[in-house]
């Protein structure tokens, strides 16, 4: 049935949705007098809603996920074939796609060795936290249990993932939180707290050492960082930052956990964001782009050395990683992920990300010359942000309402853009762009022109 053309059917769906679906991150009061968008089709970067209206999606499924674009028949077929053959068995056993994807993934991650499957970014991060906590018990007499996270970073939605969240508005009303999580300062040079920024990267990283010393190094087990802060405002690490972070982690025996849930699988122009910075992590987590949203899959990847810490006397019931994720055993995830990786390689998408990413930044900088509202443009690859301010001198952020208006004006023109969303009390002021890795110059022009018009229209 072509449900886009069938008005009765469409209004039926909207009625059911309004009556029963509780949408993510949404205040439902406005839906008493308006309808939510219902998405029905996608091809490439374009999505179509239930009213037949087409949009260019500049955020890969709203939240940086559909990296290889919509409507990929080969991924759908890989999932279909795998589900018919063997849909599921608990992850305490192996699967053919699970083994093959793990091998292929590790080829792209020199120094890493083991792949633990689950099904969301939050869960993948929690696996990392559980590993750190268990190692604290088995190797450090219950010490080294604290986990440091960074202001402005986000690591997931569960209570413990939120305990490691550097976004105050996102956390509000969900406490009390899990103990043992400690915050360190952000690394946004645009909002540097220092008078002299000559060595900003190193200075910002040295804040880690202050926190470790304040907490007592014997109690701190790991540091979790996004390679590029995503929902917190698209903040790439400044020069010299990660070198110093790595040195401090080594000095105080901290495991380094890189959260690649957004940056992973090519979004920034390398397979993984941390690979831009020469970092050697102990734990790497990823989710969104792993299978581009064609199946739910996340992974926690570790070094062999960390894994070895859980391999000892089989008669000791407490010595191994006593964790399970029911849907981490779904074979559709790794089957989709394998095909997703094949597409990225075969279509040379990393090259496209680098070329188109540079073009996107150039186009936004042109816009910055014409709109005083744009205080800063930054990013890596096809992961770019434009921070909006009331005044370039004072850098006072615009109200969230301004960014919402710009997004609404873009939507009117058929372009879906992203933005920092109810994360901070004051800093919900960044436009976030992350089109699919297949995007073209024409797509980027369409996105940037829509933003240009939107900024003009709102005055």
Instruction: Check residue 334 for interaction with ligand PLP (CB under 6 A).
Output: no
Separation of alpha carbons 74 and 336, rounded Å:
9
Residues touching ligand PLP, count (CB under 6 A): 16
Kindly list the distances between the CA atom of residue 402 and the CA atoms of 373, 409, 415, in Å, as whole numbers in the listed order. 10, 11, 17
Under rule CB under 6 A, which residues in 123-142 are in contact with ligand PLP? 125
Instruction: Check residue 63 for interaction with ligand PLP (CB under 6 A).
Output: yes
Select from 39-47, 121-129, 143-151, 398-406 the region that touches ligand PLP (CB under 6 A). 121-129
Select from 1-9, 114-122, 393-401, 451-459 the region that touches ligand PLP (CB under 6 A). 114-122
Instruction: Check residue 385 for interaction with ligand PLP (CB under 6 A).
Output: no
Select from 43-51, 155-163, 244-252, 406-414 the region that touches ligand PLP (CB under 6 A). 155-163
Select from 203-211, 223-231, 421-429, 440-448 the region that touches ligand PLP (CB under 6 A). 223-231
Please say which residue, 225 or 364, places its beta carbon nearer to ligand PLP: 225
Select from 16-24, 76-84, 226-234, 421-429 the region that touches ligand PLP (CB under 6 A). 226-234
Please say which residue, 44 or 121, places its beta carbon nearer to ligand PLP: 121
Min separation Cβ 84 and ligand PLP, Å: 27
Which residue of 69, 98, 231, 233 would you call a contact of ligand PLP, by CB under 6 A?
Answer: 231
Please say which residue, 45 or 63, places its beta carbon nearer to ligand PLP: 63
Instruction: Check residue 230 for interaction with ligand PLP (CB under 6 A).
Output: yes
Nearest alpha carbon to residue 233 among 65, 357, 398, 68:
398
Please say which residue, 144 or 257, places its beta carbon nearer to ligand PLP: 257
Asked if 329 and 90 touch (Cβ cutoff 8 Å), the reply is yes
Collapse the DSSP code of 307 into the 3-class scheme (helix H, G, I; strand E, B; otherwise coil) and give the result: helix
Please say which residue, 120 or 429, places its beta carbon nearer to ligand PLP: 120
Instruction: Check residue 155 for interaction with ligand PLP (CB under 6 A).
Output: yes
Asked if 59 and 431 touch (Cβ cutoff 8 Å), the reply is no
Return the ∠ at Cα 241 (arms to 240 and 247), rounded to 5°: 95
Instruction: Check residue 287 for interaction with ligand PLP (CB under 6 A).
Output: yes
Using a 10 angstrom Cβ sphere, with 0-12 exposed, 13-18 middle and 19 or more buried, the burial of residue 428 is: buried
Which residue of 261, 331, 335, 403 would you call a contact of ligand PLP, by CB under 6 A?
Answer: 261
β-pair type (181-184, 146-150): parallel
Instruction: Check residue 291 for interaction with ligand PLP (CB under 6 A).
Output: no
Asked if 386 and 417 touch (Cβ cutoff 8 Å), the reply is no
Instruction: Check residue 152 for interaction with ligand PLP (CB under 6 A).
Output: no
Instruction: Check residue 381 for interaction with ligand PLP (CB under 6 A).
Output: no
Q: Which residue has its beta carbon closest to ligand PLP? A: 121
Residues in the chain, total: 459
Select from 39-47, 96-104, 258-266, 339-347 the region that touches ligand PLP (CB under 6 A). 258-266
State the DSSP H helix or E strand holding residue 122, giving kind and residue range, or none if neither.
helix 121-139
Select from 53-61, 120-128, 325-333, 401-409 the region that touches ligand PLP (CB under 6 A). 120-128
Nearest alpha carbon to residue 235 among 244, 243, 225:
225
Instruction: Check residue 419 for interaction with ligand PLP (CB under 6 A).
Output: no
Select from 99-107, 153-161, 192-200, 349-357 the region that touches ligand PLP (CB under 6 A). 153-161
Q: Which are the contacts of 55, defined by CB distance < 8 A and separation ≥ 6?
A: 46, 47, 48, 49, 411, 414, 415, 416
Instruction: Check residue 226 for interaction with ligand PLP (CB under 6 A).
Output: yes
Min separation Cβ 392 and ligand PLP, Å: 28
Separation of alpha carbons 179 and 169, rounded Å:
19
Instruction: Check residue 301 for interaction with ligand PLP (CB under 6 A).
Output: no
Instruction: Check residue 156 for interaction with ligand PLP (CB under 6 A).
Output: yes
Applying CB under 6 A, the residues found at the interface with ligand PLP are 63, 120-122, 125, 154-157, 226, 230-231, 259, 261-262, 287
């Amino acid at each position: 049935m072509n449900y886009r053309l069938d008005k009765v059917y469409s209004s039926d769906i909207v009625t059911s949705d309004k009556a029963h679906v509780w949408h993510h991150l949404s205040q439902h009061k406005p839906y008493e007098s308006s309808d939510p968008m219902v998405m029905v089709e996608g091809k490439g970067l374009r999505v179509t809603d239930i009213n037949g209206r087409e949009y260019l999606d500049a955020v890969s499924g709203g939240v940086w996920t559909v990296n290889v674009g919509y409507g990929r028949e080969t991924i759908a077929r890989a999932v279909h074939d795998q589900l018919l053959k063997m849909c599921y068995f608990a992850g305490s056993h192996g699967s053919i796609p699970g083994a093959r994807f793990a091998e292929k993934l590790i080829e792209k991650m020199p120094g890493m060795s083991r792949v633990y499957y689950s099904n969301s970014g939050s869960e993948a991060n929690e696996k990392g936290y559980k590993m750190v906590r268990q190692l604290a018990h088995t190797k450090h007499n219950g010490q080294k249990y604290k986990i440091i996270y960074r202001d402005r970073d986000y690591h997931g939605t569960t209570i413990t993932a939120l305990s490691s969240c550097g976004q105050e508005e996102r956390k509000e009303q969900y406490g009390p939180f899990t103990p043992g999580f400690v915050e360190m300062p952000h690394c946004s040079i645009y909002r540097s707290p220092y008078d002299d920024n000559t060595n900003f990267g190193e200075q910002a990283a040295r804040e880690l050492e202050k926190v470790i010393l304040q907490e007592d190094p014997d109690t701190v087990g790991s540091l979790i960082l996004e390679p590029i802060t995503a929902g917190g405002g698209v903040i790439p690490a400044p020069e010299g930052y990660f070198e110093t972070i790595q040195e401090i982690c080594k000095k105080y025996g901290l495991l380094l956990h890189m959260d690649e849930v957004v940056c992973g699988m090519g979004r920034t122009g390398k397979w993984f964001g941390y690979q831009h910075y020469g970092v050697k992590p102990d734990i790497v987590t990823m989710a969104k782009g792993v299978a581009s949203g064609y199946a739910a899959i996340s992974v926690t990847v570790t070094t062999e050395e960390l894994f070895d810490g859980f391999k000892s006397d089989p008669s000791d019931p407490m010595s191994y990683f006593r964790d399970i994720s029911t849907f981490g055993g779904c074979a559709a995830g790794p089957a989709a992920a394998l095909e997703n990786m094949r597409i990225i390689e075969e279509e040379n998408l990393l090259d496209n990300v680098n070329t188109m990413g540079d073009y996107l930044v150039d186009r936004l900088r042109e816009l910055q010359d014409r709109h005083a509202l744009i205080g800063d443009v930054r990013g890596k690859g096809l992961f770019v942000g434009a921070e909006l301010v009331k005044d370039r001198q004072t850098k006072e952020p615009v109200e969230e309402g301004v960014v919402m208006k710009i997004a609404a004006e873009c939507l009117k023109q058929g372009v879906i853009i992203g933005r920092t969303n109810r994360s901070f009390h004051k800093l919900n002021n960044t436009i976030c762009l992350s089109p699919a890795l297949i995007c073209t110059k024409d797509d980027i022009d369409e996105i940037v022109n829509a933003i240009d018009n939107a900024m003009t229209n709102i005055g």
